[in-house]
Structure 1
Amino acid sequence: MVATPETGPSARGVASTRLPGLPERVEIYEVGPRDGLQNESAVVPVAVKAEFVRRLVAAGLRTVELTSFVPRRWIPQLGDAEELLELLGDDQPPRAPVLVPNEKGLERAVAAGAREVAVFASATESFARRNLNRSVAESLEMFAPVVAQARAAGLPVRGYVSMCFGDPWEGAVPLGQVAEVTLRLAEFGCTEISLGDTIGVGTPGQVAALLDLLGRGGLGVDRLAVHFHDTYGQALANTLTALQHGVTTVDASAGGLGGCPYAGSATGNLATEDLVWQLSGLGIDTGVDLPALARTSLWLAGQLGRPSPSRALAALTPSLQGA
């Protein structure tokens, strides 16, 4: 089939040309305030975090993962979770998930008024031990009651599966191993499961194979999201493959914030600006105002004192500064 030009969303001059077999709309799951900021060595003031969220929402992002209810000693950057939710008040987006590591974290999140939670599992033993100090089986046993209690309280629960395509200690990860963990999270009752290329080594063929395998296991793409890192420049190619397989929720981080502390060459999460540029060019609606998003990332880069790795943001910056 031949691609057909259509009138669609545009962003700073990007031409909109649809390709067959792609969704009309994609939900961007913004992870900047949590996954993006958690690797920053200097603690960002809670007022700056709240303003970051407000600006993201004003740019049209309907899903923003706010923070994590982990003990402060684990991740000092996220030790102000309760204060952030209180400061945001009614300024939260329609979906405002928070990460919880265990039942204690869930209790804190519920007490703070969280409306959606997420749990973070691993497909590999090495990362499960380093991240959770548990085996894969033990970590799943820990998450089962968390998911059950959250669902009983009426909260949606997202499950993350990390190290889906490669692990810095174990190398290539068997897709059957990834599918087993993913399907267990689905059995627990997770309403959405995000497949994470934590160190950014995946390529489109692997993405297609994993989605096909999960489909054969009975897990439809309507419950799946994808979370790519751009270490080897594959994030957008992997995203397009996922879209061609019916996935309509894609994780991204404003300005490309974040990364993996276990991969020295990792360049961070897929930048939301890069994703919006691609989706706009494909005629796919996101509801996101790209110039407003880019101005938000430029503002945050100023707060952090360093430039963003986003290619789209770098290209847009001269026109934004001249506006």
Structure 2
Amino acid sequence: MSLHSLGLSDQESRAYAALARVKSASVEELAREVGMGVTEAADLLEQLARRMVVVRRPGIRWTAVRPAVALGALLAQRREDLGATRVVLDELDDAFRAARPDVATDVVLDVAHGPDEIADRMHQIQVAARSEVLTLVKSPVMASGSTDDGAEDDAVRRGVEYRVVLERSMLEEEPRLVEGIHRARAAGEQVRVAGHVPTKLIVVDREVALVPLGSDSAVLLGAGGLLDALVALFEAVWERGQEVDLGPEEPESDDGPLITMLLAGLTDDAIARDLGISPRTLQRRVRGLLDLAGVDTRLQLGYVVAQRGWTGGSLGPRSE
């Protein structure tokens, strides 16, 4: 349990939670419960007492102040602090707009230059997402900077709904996307494919959108008529899009012997002879395995096979 958002450290959170679960405790009992030294526990209790979330009873016992009271007070203080921060934010935003009289800053929130800045903005708006993210994707991808894209996974775990439309040609140009789509669907994202996607786009909560200005820049737009038009554009492309049949997520059962022979280092001629298939059929099946794994080489395929446990005994029957 962590109460970081209320200003308590991990140790303070653990100590308060431990006291809240019992009527009272001595310093020694608390130290044993949270796994720390007696001196450290005593100092921690004094810190919590100064925060008015625990009190010392007559003698050597300590008890937690009721959470609805103690943490409620901390929460109220945090709200007050956030309100003051909002005032400062608004003042800074007014100053920002005043310094840029030639830019429609009510609509244009920011302009990002270069892949790293674009990736940063994509990360930031997804971190702030509350309910919905709409995305149009076409080659080349909007950003390939160094920012970790864990923001998307975190947003999905928070319950944010993702709807994504990819241009169909991307599946042919980037076979690895198939694996990514499998993962996205498994996480709960909705993914469609359209023959033509007019522009790259990401819209968050229908309040902010990031769209490209050129090959190396993008504009961050706020609420307004332009954003409404972009949402309408997404919905039109989404309606035209189709669910794509990505095939199985793992090899069929009769690919098991082929995988085993590939891992054993047998030559293509030997594998084709043992399986009773032509070299051309062998190449087609190997290409299918590479595409399914989202890799380009047999060495990479070996790594994926080991990582995912693709063995003959674990694979399902080949569909007709």
Using the size of structure 1 for normalisation, the TM-score is 0.24
The structure richer in helix per residue is: 2
Bigger relative CO (Cα 8 Å, ≥ 6 apart)? 1
Using the size of structure 2 for normalisation, the TM-score is 0.24
